[in-house]
Chains A and B, each alone.
Chain A
Amino acid sequence: MHRSPVRDFVVGLFVLVGLGAIAYLSMNVGGFSLHRGEGLAVFAAFDQIGGLKPRAPVVISGVKVGQVGPIVLDQNFRARAELDLRSDLKIPRDTSASIVTSGLLGDRYISLELGGEDTYLKPGDEITMTESAVILERLIGKLIHNTDVEKPK
């Protein structure tokens, strides 16, 4: 077995293209980043998260700035979600987090409404002002209930 420049070049090219495909799948499609874990991780507790799932986007003014991490039940039986945000953001302490829906039946995501304080959230901090998910079925239920009550008047 001897060296063959053309064959070796083609094999090298094949390996590079294959690795390129893996890199594309990982970086662009899979959303893998080398800086994972270095982001700003804060917590927010909600009374009702509706259909919010881990890896749902977190947005400010509609721009994605991070994603939802694991969601657990805390001691007060509230849903405590971890929000992994971009670390270069300065988010005021009195920021509020609300769970909103894209479209009528679309996916849930978290929208942050920035506050005005001068102190900023540090990793591990808690966002205290939260707004729970609106459950469409309950809303409809309430509406029907209310109209039923008003009829006898």
Chain B
Amino acid sequence: MSALIQDLGWAVVRTIDQFGKITVFAAQIARALVTPPARVRLFVQEVFNLGVLSLVIICVSGLAVGMVLGLQGYNTLVRFGAEQSLGAVVGLSLIRELGPVLTALLATGRAGSATAAEIGTMVVTEQLDGLRMMSTNPIHYVVMPKALAMIFVMPLLSALFIVCGLGGGYFVGVSLMGLDGGTYLSSLQSAVDFNDDVVSSLLKALIFGLLVGLIATYRGYTCAPTSAGVSSATTSTVVIASVAILIFDYFITALWGV
């Protein structure tokens, strides 16, 4: 019995310890951010790795999600004779929820896991120690550009996802189901507000980018220097980041009413 309670206590202590360590890690990244040099070239390279290489998966998924929303929304709305509101249904679901959340989940799988594996491999092959030998701070040279690039690309990817989704919904509603194109667009435009919906959607994506960037780089950086360590760092990045995205999504929505 006492062993069970001990296990529970140990689990709590470990979790709190992790929270503290990741906060310190975030503070170290923030300090690296304001320390010259700015590492612009490395940042651009990471925007390429994390953003440009995720473009195809983001656009294809956005299109598919938009088409499904269009189909489901149409079939439901047509029962009430309210198929004119299809644009509002597709637009609001994409902009307020699905765009930022699905983009963040996809980016976790595509870019977050790659980031953790890359940094983890650097730990295993002692490349980070090599950097320290040359008195280069690995957080400044390796971690900061990756984390910053993740924060930067997430709103862009989310916006692209949403636009592709709106296109998919338009295709299904207008081309396949024979809804009027103007009706779709005007219902979309009258339902979506700039401040309430678009700005908060981008803010949500920004926060998710921060989460994924931080978790992926932290997991890679603290990875055990074995091949099993790299694999567990990659796995836990995807698991923790996905769960964190969904939990944060609830609280952002509940607190800000986004």
Contact = CB atoms under 8 A, between A and B. Distances in A.
Interface in B140-159: 153, 155-157, 159
> Which DSSP category, helix, strand, loop or mixed, fits chain A's interface?
helix
Contacts of A3: 41
B198 A1 contact: no
Interface in A86-135: none
A2 B194 CA distance: 40
B193 A14 contact: no
Contacts of B253: none
Contact of B155 (A2, A7, A8, A22): A22
Given A22-B202, A25-B159, A30 B45 contact: no
A29 interface: yes
Interface in A8-28: 8, 10-11, 14-15, 17-19, 21-22, 24-26, 28
B157 A31 contact: no
A10 B48 contact: yes
What bracket does the count of chain B residues touching chain A fall in? Answer: 20 to 34
A32 B201 CA distance: 14
A57 interface: yes
B66 to A, nearest CB: 13
A78 interface: no
B119 interface: no
A142 interface: no
A13 to B, nearest CB: 8
B220 interface: no
B189 A8 contact: no
B197 interface: yes
Contacts of A29: 91, 95, 166, 188-189, 192, 198
> Which DSSP category, helix, strand, loop or mixed, fits chain B's interface?
helix
Interface residues of A, number: 24
B52 A31 contact: no
A19 B197 CA distance: 17
Given A21-B163, A30-B194, A32-B194, A14 B188 contact: no
A25 B198 contact: yes
Contact of B52 (A1, A11, A19): A11
A1 B155 CA distance: 26
Contacts of B194: 26, 30-32
B51 interface: yes
A8 B41 CA distance: 9
B44 interface: yes
Interface of A: 1-3, 7-8, 10-11, 14-15, 17-19, 21-22, 24-26, 28-32, 55, 57
20 contacts: A1-B45, A2-B41, A11-B44, A11-B48, A14-B47, A15-B156, A18-B157, A18-B160, A21-B156, A21-B162, A22-B198, A25-B162, A26-B194, A29-B91, A29-B166, A30-B194, A30-B197, A31-B189, A31-B193, A31-B194
Interface of B: 41-42, 44-45, 47-48, 51-52, 55, 91, 95, 153, 155-157, 159-160, 162-163, 166, 188-190, 192-194, 197-198, 201-202
